[in-house]
Structure 1
Amino acid sequence: MNPLGTASVAALRQYVRYADANGIAVEPLFDRAGLQPAVLDSDDGRIEGEQLQAFIRVLAEHTGNPVLGLETGDYVQPGSYSVLGYITMSCVTLGEAVTRIAPYEKLVGDMGTTRLQMQGDSASLVWTCNFDDPVVWPQVVDNVFASWINYARWLADSADASPLEVRLCRPSPGADYEQAYTARWQCPVQFSAGENSVTFAQSLLATRLRQPDPLLRKTLEAHALSQLALLDTDTDLTTRVKQSIQKQLAEGVTRQDMVAEDLGMTSRTLQRKLSQDGVSYQRLLDEVRQQMAEDYLQNTDMSIPDIALRLGYSETTSFHRKFKSATGKTPGDFRRQ
């Protein structure tokens, strides 16, 4: 599997918004990075991590901007974080939102990993970047921290939600550019540090957010867990096939030829490639159906016949039989428990 994993199209879009706002044509950059413009048409699609790294590199080279990552952080939106963004929006406090980053950040992409450290009256978010291109990784770290800070201020509805300190492994971009960091973040910034971290007062974690919705958060987290299950241990191809199947089933359709077309190949080619990965289309369909069935039963009020229809079963009895074979329980028993 690609050592840089995959990244959500939502993460890519943030850089594209920056390019559009600055009058930069993205199609030539996409071509150089091995991307197709049509990838932006998908709300829940993913690209290879190497493709995202390549795109950021060509964008950095095109602009010659040493603080590209810092400035692209100005274009963060809830959707930039995939379903994680909407989970954090529905949290009650900023602290609750912060604790959701590590479990679900893989949905945004495999760009890096986060850990939360508490010390005295302060707390730090430490981020380890997985990208290895020397041109790219400093910009990615800048982007992640700039996006976090901007998004936290938006969630808390307060421009005062500023860190105590930011530490960056990257070398200084120069005295003139350093001012851009302190102007945006309103705190000291240390370059050539031993880690990438954002430190803030623990009291900030108690800040109430603008639109808490615990019930919605529960539903979104269930959906996020099912998305993580699709990503976990899959090859890039099986991940994309499962995502395409899930997208179709959400519309009550399930056809292998449509999945193949969605992935830009023929049905026969899809079958051959899945066989090379040691799986079949039917097996992936069964797995996605089961995950979605459990999600619907736990987190919606849809009737069991409606769930069966949504998942492409011609008869409710077929759904009952398949579900009980997988879990040992009927759909009704599963829902009650």
Structure 2
Amino acid sequence: MKSWDFCRSITSVQILVSLGLEHGAALDRLLLNTALDQASIDNPETVVEASAEMAVVRNLLRELPHVANLGLLAGERYHLSAYGIWGFALASSPTARKAVELSQTYQELTFVFSGFTVEEHDDYAILVFDNTDVPDDVRLFSIEREIHAAMIIIREMIGNNMGEEWVRFQHPRPENAELYDQCFRGRVDFSAERNELLFPRSALDKSRAVGNLATASLLDKQCSELIAKRSARRGLSGKVRDILLCQRPMSMDMELVADALCMTSRTMRRKLAAENTSFRQLVDEIRLSLAEEMLTGTRLSVEQIAERLNYADASSFSQAFKRMSGHTPGMLRKQGQGAA
């Protein structure tokens, strides 16, 4: 059985909660069994496990049983701008083919529960979604959301060259299927062998006027680095990382973190060294990861980001960011805005 303890940004939970609130659900009911609260939802630095997002989906389905096709309604809200660095990397890609390749390589940075692969047959490019490992109670919501969101993103990427898409769902045609016809411009099949989104293969290699190869390459590298930083650490380093992520503002005090783990700072330092890391390295990794997400995915000023990450001032933050990443906060934000 698949584990759902991998991390992702709070953005998807924000989207789901907003959908629930608009349909009359109560916030506390939507956040049941997630350990999240209003402050967590409002904080762009918050990182959650996929299991917490899945709990929100379950709460949404339980609280709104009268709303048909909730997955489709959610999917239409997942535009490129919701995905931070991953979204900017796709938006800056010189061709749709490059964007599709990036999307598959770095799908850990998306909000999918169903993994996807890319195929090309005859006149079609095909995204194949495998939701075998998704729990039964959220499987329908998941595949509705993911295929609709993928279609939204491809339309944003390809524009008028998209033509009519063709979608295939493994589940039987639901009683209230009218929304499917409204969401998808082309053919919609049910009870299919696979969950698929098909679109014209010819659109893959057409140049995109807003694409920029240099920016796409830089963001490609940053996507890789972000995945590495998000990868769940094991042992003591994982516990330290969790404590740092939960602190608002983030504490740089090793003694406080060591106390929370019921050990001395000396013991913690020795055990982290045995795991080939250090407290400073963990702090830097988290700060850089959160800074990159806030610079590309929010409108917070450099001063606000510096404050949230517990730097003395914007200048100190900018110097540290350049030391860790090789470029300034302004450079990253400008590249992201150019890609968008």
Same fold (TM over 0.5): yes
Q: CA deviation at 1:138?
A: 1.1
Q: Which runs of 5+ in 1 are unaligned?
A: 261-265, 297-305, 314-318, 320-337
Q: 2:87 aligns with which of 69, 85, 88?
A: 85
Q: 1:268 aligns with which of 259, 277, 281?
A: 259
Distance 1:51 1:78 in 2: 22
Distance 1:312 1:164 in 2: 43
The aligned counterpart of 1:283 is: 278
Distance 1:156 1:312 in 2: 34
8 Å contact 1:127–1:197 — kept in the other structure? Answer: yes
Deviates more, 1:234-243 or 1:213-222: 234-243
Q: What letter is aligned with 1:29?
A: L
The aligned counterpart of 2:320 is: 310
Distance 1:162 1:18 in 2: 29
| CA deviation profile, 1:70-125 (whole Å, cap 9, x unmatched) | 01112123242232111111112222211111111112257232211111221111
Q: What letter is aligned with 1:285?
A: R
8 Å contact 2:30–2:60 — kept in the other structure? Answer: yes
Distance 1:208 1:178 in 2: 36
**Corresponding position: 1:234 with 2:233:** yes
The aligned counterpart of 1:30 is: 31
Change (3 A) 1:162 1:145: farther
Distance 1:143 1:236 in 2: 35
Distance 2:18 2:163 in 1: 24
Q: Which runs of 5+ in 2 are unaligned?
A: 293-315, 325-340
Q: CA deviation at 1:31?
A: 2.8
Q: CA deviation at 1:226?
A: 1.2
Distance 2:236 2:144 in 1: 31
Change (3 A) 1:223 1:256: farther
| CA deviation profile, 1:180-236 (whole Å, cap 9, x unmatched) | 112211122222322211111101213444622322222222221111111335249
The aligned counterpart of 2:102 is: 100
SS in 2 for 1:189: strand
**Corresponding position: 1:202 with 2:201:** yes
8 Å contact 1:125–1:199 — kept in the other structure? Answer: yes
| CA deviation profile, 1:148-181 (whole Å, cap 9, x unmatched) | 11122223343x625542111223222xx22311
Structure 2 matches for 1:159-178, cutoff 5 A? 161-174=162-175, 177-178=176-177
Change (3 A) 1:307 1:227: same
8 Å contact 1:155–1:210 — kept in the other structure? Answer: no
Change (3 A) 1:192 1:236: farther
Distance 1:4 1:213 in 2: 35
Q: What letter is aligned with 2:95?
A: T
Distance 1:287 1:32 in 2: 28
| CA deviation profile, 1:40-92 (whole Å, cap 9, x unmatched) | 23435321222211110110121113410101112123242232111111112
Query: Larger relative contact order (C-alpha < 8 A, sep ≥ 6)?
Result: 2
Change (3 A) 1:67 1:216: same
8 Å contact 2:29–2:59 — kept in the other structure? Answer: no
The aligned counterpart of 2:253 is: 256
Change (3 A) 1:62 1:92: same
Change (3 A) 1:256 1:144: farther
The aligned counterpart of 1:133 is: 135
Distance 2:130 2:164 in 1: 18
The aligned counterpart of 2:217 is: 218
The aligned counterpart of 2:312 is: none
SS in 2 for 1:114: strand
Deviates more, 1:237-246 or 1:124-133: 237-246
Change (3 A) 1:117 1:239: farther
**Corresponding position: 1:120 with 2:158:** no
The number of aligned residues is 289
8 Å contact 1:242–1:284 — kept in the other structure? Answer: no
8 Å contact 2:32–2:59 — kept in the other structure? Answer: no
Distance 1:88 1:243 in 2: 30
SS in 1 for 2:146: helix
8 Å contact 1:163–1:186 — kept in the other structure? Answer: yes
The aligned counterpart of 1:299 is: none
8 Å contact 1:93–1:208 — kept in the other structure? Answer: yes
